[in-house]
């Protein structure tokens, strides 16, 4: 691991903020690193308010979208709410359809089949709309590149409203309205909304026209918070407000579908991390293993008993998903070793029978072993389909764009993308991708990095310090849980490996004045560094340990060095 200590912020700014907030300089430093430099900015950060949400009408085409939906409601038109099969897509569809059903009964949902239709807007979906007299499709978390498909729908007399957050191409579809804050000429102040976030802005705009307040929309925020966490968008500004209030809904008054999942988890209070690693995979499993409509049915169900049945079904899909991703990961690792591809700067693997629903997870797993831009391909109809994942700091979307002559279709983000290509182009693409990455990547990015916020003494960590750090949450991209470094530590003498195959390490660290219990997951091989009271340094985050009703502070070790 590379340890990178973030630059120290301006000492004057830190001192002024520490004085005005009456907090320790280490807390003020963490805030300034996050761009919070004044008392008022800190107040906004520590006290998220729904009043801080932007006016939805600042988004380009919002007025057109609202006007077209109002016409559809007034005329009793059939509205089809269409979304992708992942968490962001299915939560978006659940949000939009359940809100619109409070205005008109003429609403249905459509999730494309991952295997039969693939990602995004499909001709099959448009034909379904045409066959069933839908005259308006609201596409969520997809559609920004569906130029031909929107034109095809128009020929059939079907209008589109697109709510997307992916990067547009040079041209956008000729739809009734295109809502996407990443459009170059969109003046919306916050660009990092997820698809469900864009959908929320649309229902916020519709609500304003109906004289509803933001408080009327709070019950939908559990869906938005889940999408924000699962889609790995920055938890800053507007996303942080939506995630903060959405988590409150999940913990205090969740919809029946969430309650059914939470009942399986046996956990009292969920953090955004719990949402990402427990709720989101289950919602995702429906689209990965069976069909995304199962997730929409769960998330829109109002009867708890029915929701429990749906959740049990989805739990089975999730078990199947886990088994498939473990098996395919082993096969992919074997392929890299057999083909002696360890020296490459990319991992590109293909097997025609790999389950399309888990190749994205497998790509992430491969990065855990070989830390480099990764693509996992499988056969999809007469084409090959892949999921791409990247390492921190490298834009895989740009790399794919540079190889586009070999690609049929691609889309996504800086760190995650999807693509299809013809089988005969696979080898040429594989080499072009390797060449492009070799040419453009900073080789340092191929070693995993721990970004350390600040160096502190153990004595800095106390109850007040921890109470304030907890208020930095919800944590996520651009607002991660603070990582600290402390030097000149010693184990008190009882450090040992724990867990299956001694994978983890547990010890008590002291700097001579203060001591803390430490747990280091997957760091069992570092035990020799701390044995016999050797001096060592550690990077860690502060955490709570709950045991038999007692709560104590512990250090969650990220890495150790002599």
Tell me the pLDDT tens digit for each residue of 471-502: 999 999 899 999 999 999 999 988 999 988 89
283-342 pLDDT, tens digit each:
999 988 889 999 999 999 999 999 999 999 999 999 999 999 999 999 999 999 887 777
- Asked whether residue 105 falls in the same domain as residue 120, the answer is yes
Of 384, 415, 446, the residue at which a domain comes to its end is 446
User: Is it the case that residue 185 has pLDDT exceeding 80?
Assistant: yes
CATH code, domain carrying 530: 2.40.50.460
Stretch 254-270: mean pLDDT, rounded?
88
The per-residue pLDDT for 535 is 95
79-100 pLDDT, tens digit each:
999 999 999 999 999 999 999 9
Angle subtended at Cα 77 by Cα 73 and Cα 79, rounded to the nearest 5 degrees: 85
Stretch 524-532: mean pLDDT, rounded?
92
CATH code, domain carrying 343: 3.10.310.30
- Is there a domain that residue 32 lies in? no
- Asked whether residue 363 falls in the same domain as residue 466, the answer is no
Pairing of strands 484-491, 536-547: antiparallel
- Asked whether residue 188 falls in the same domain as residue 176, the answer is yes
- Paired with 418 in beta bridges are 387, 411
Backbone angles phi, psi at 371, to 5 degrees: -80, 90
- Asked whether residue 247 falls in the same domain as residue 393, the answer is no
Q: Which among 499, 541, 536 has a CA at the least distance from the CA of 521?
A: 499
- Asked whether residue 356 falls in the same domain as residue 394, the answer is yes
HSE-CB for 24 with a 13 A CA cutoff: 16
381-429 pLDDT, tens digit each:
899 999 999 999 999 999 999 999 999 988 878 888 999 999 999 999 9
CATH code, domain carrying 189: 3.90.1640.30
The per-residue pLDDT for 345 is 94
HSE-CB for 13 with a 13 A CA cutoff: 15
Average pLDDT, rounded, for the chain: 94
How many angstroms separate the Cα of 521 from the Cα of each of 297, 392, 559? 37, 21, 9
- Is there a domain that residue 333 lies in? no
- Asked whether residue 429 falls in the same domain as residue 478, the answer is no
Domain extent, residue 485, equals 2-10+450-561
- Asked whether residue 435 falls in the same domain as residue 483, the answer is no
The per-residue pLDDT for 333 is 94
Place of tokens 């399986």: 264
Q: List the structure tokens of 235.
A: 């938890």
- Is there a domain that residue 241 lies in? yes
How many angstroms separate the Cα of 524 from the Cα of each of 53, 212, 257, 527? 45, 55, 38, 6
Helix (H) or strand (E) holding 71: helix 62-75
Question: Burial, 90: exposed, middle or buried (Cβ in 10 Å; 0-12, 13-18, 19+)?
Answer: buried
Inter-helix orientation angle 221-230/87-100, to 10°:
160
- Paired with 491 in beta bridges are 509
- Asked whether residue 430 falls in the same domain as residue 457, the answer is no
Quote the strand ranges of 264-353, DSSP E.
347-350
- Asked whether residue 504 falls in the same domain as residue 407, the answer is no
Of 446, 473, 501, the residue at which a domain comes to its end is 446
Question: Burial, 182: exposed, middle or buried (Cβ in 10 Å; 0-12, 13-18, 19+)?
Answer: middle
- Asked whether residue 440 falls in the same domain as residue 470, the answer is no
User: Is it the case that residue 545 has pLDDT exceeding 90?
Assistant: no
Q: List the structure tokens of 305.
A: 């008993």
The per-residue pLDDT for 143 is 94
- Asked whether residue 421 falls in the same domain as residue 477, the answer is no
364-390 pLDDT, tens digit each:
999 999 999 999 999 988 999 999 999
- Is there a domain that residue 423 lies in? yes
- Asked whether residue 506 falls in the same domain as residue 537, the answer is yes
Stretch 532-544: mean pLDDT, rounded?
93
The per-residue pLDDT for 493 is 87
Quote the strand ranges of 103-199, DSSP E.
107-110, 134-140, 159-163, 177-179
Stretch 156-169: mean pLDDT, rounded?
94
Q: How many domains does the chain have?
A: 3
- Is there a domain that residue 29 lies in? no
- Is there a domain that residue 319 lies in? no
Of 396, 420, 446, the residue at which a domain comes to its end is 446
């Amino acid at each position: 691991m590379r340890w990178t200590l973030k630059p120290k912020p301006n000492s004057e700014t830190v001192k002024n903020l520490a004085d005005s907030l009456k907090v320790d300089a280490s807390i003020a430093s963490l805030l300034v690193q996050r761009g919070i430099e004044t008392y008022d900015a800190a107040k906004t950060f520590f006290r998220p308010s729904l009043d801080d949400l932007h006016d939805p009408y600042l988004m380009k085409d919002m007025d057109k979208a609202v006007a077209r939906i109002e016409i559809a409601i007034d005329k009793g038109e059939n509205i089809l709410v269409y979304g992708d099969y992942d968490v962001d897509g299915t939560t978006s569809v659940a949000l939009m359809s359940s809100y619109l059903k409070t205005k008109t009964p003429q609403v249905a949902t459509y999730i494309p089949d991952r295997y039969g239709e693939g990602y995004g807007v499909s001709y099959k979906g448009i034909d379904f709309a045409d066959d069933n007299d839908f005259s308006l499709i609201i596409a969520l978390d997809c559609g920004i590149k569906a130029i031909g498909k929107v034109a095809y729908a128009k020929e059939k007399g079907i209008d589109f409203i697109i709510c997307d957050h992916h990067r547009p191409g040079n041209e956008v579809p000729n739809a009734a309205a295109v809502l996407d804050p990443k459009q170059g000429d969109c003046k919306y102040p916050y660009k990092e909304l997820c698809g469900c976030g864009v959908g929320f802005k649309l229902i916020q705009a519709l609500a304003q026209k109906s004289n509803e307040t933001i408080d009327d929309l709070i019950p939908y925020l559990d869906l938005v918070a889940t999408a924000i966490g699962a889609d790995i968008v920055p938890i800053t500004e507007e996303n942080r407000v939506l995630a903060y209030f959405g988590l409150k809904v999940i913990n205090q008054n969740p919809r029946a579908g969430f309650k059914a999942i939470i009942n399986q988890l046996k956990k009292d209070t969920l953090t955004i991390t719990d949402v990402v690693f427990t709720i989101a995979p289950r919602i995702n499993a429906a689209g990965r293993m069976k069909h995304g409509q199962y997730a929409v049915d769960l998330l829109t169900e109002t009867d708890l008993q029915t929701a429990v049945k749906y959740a049990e079904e989805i739990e089975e899909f999730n078990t199947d998903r886990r088994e498939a991703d473990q098996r395919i990961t082993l096969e992919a690792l074997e392929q890299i070793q057999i083909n002696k591809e360890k020296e490459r700067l990319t991992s590109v693997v293909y097997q025609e029978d790999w389950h399309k629903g888990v190749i994205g997870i497998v790509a992430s797993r491969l990065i855990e072993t070989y830390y480099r831009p990764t693509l996992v391909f499988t056969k999809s109809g007469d084409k090959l389909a892949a999921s791409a994942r990247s390492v921190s700091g490298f834009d895989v979307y740009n790399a794919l764009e540079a190889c586009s002559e070999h690609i049929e279709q691609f889309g996504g983000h800086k760190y995650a993308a999807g693509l299809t290509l013809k089988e005969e182009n696979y080898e040429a693409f594989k080499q072009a991708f390797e060449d492009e990455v070799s040419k453009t990547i900073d080789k340092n990015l191929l070693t995993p990095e721990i970004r350390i916020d600040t160096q502190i003494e153990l004595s800095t960590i106390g109850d007040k310090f921890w109470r304030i750090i907890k208020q930095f949450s919800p944590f996520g991209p651009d607002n991660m849980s603070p990582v600290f470094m402390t030097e000149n530590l010693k184990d008190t003498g009882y450090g040992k490996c724990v867990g299956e195959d001694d994978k983890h390490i547990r010890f008590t660290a002291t700097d001579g004045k203060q001591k803390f219990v430490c747990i280091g997951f997957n760091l069992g091989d570092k035990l020799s560094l701390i044995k016999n009271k050797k001096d060592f340094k550690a990077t860690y985050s502060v955490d709570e340990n709950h045991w038999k009703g007692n709560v104590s502070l512990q250090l969650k070790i990220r890495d150790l060095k002599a």
